Amino acid sequence: MSGNIWIYIGVMALVSLAVRVLPLTLIRGQIENRFIRSFLYYVPYVTLAVMTFPAIVEATQSPVAGALALAVGVILAFLGAGLFPVAVACCLVVFVAELFLCG
């Protein structure tokens, strides 16, 4: 990477600012379109999922252990378990799975 680092920082700052300021200046009223409203409603959830799911599988020694923990966590959450029991169960699944897969 050659060049002036301040140019890179300046371009990054301008792009970050533009992404935040342009929607505020271009869209002044209430968004009435149901499709756009529902799309914007789910953007934070999709972003969180895209960042979290690969990390779950890659954080363990074996991707299979991470996938098993993900499956157990989704099932327990779907059944109504709280955050702490789901986290403990997923940790236990990874521990046991890595004992058999990597040990």
Q: Is the pLDDT of residue 87 over 80?
A: yes
CA atoms within 13 A on the CB side of 54: 5
Residues ≥6 apart with Cβ < 8 Å to 21: none
Gap between the Cα atoms of 59 and 92, Å rounded: 14
Average pLDDT over residues 33-60: 89
The answer, as to whether pTM is greater than 0.95, is no
Is the torsion defined by CA of 64, 91, 42, 11 positive or negative? negative
| 29 phi, psi to nearest 5 deg | -100, -175
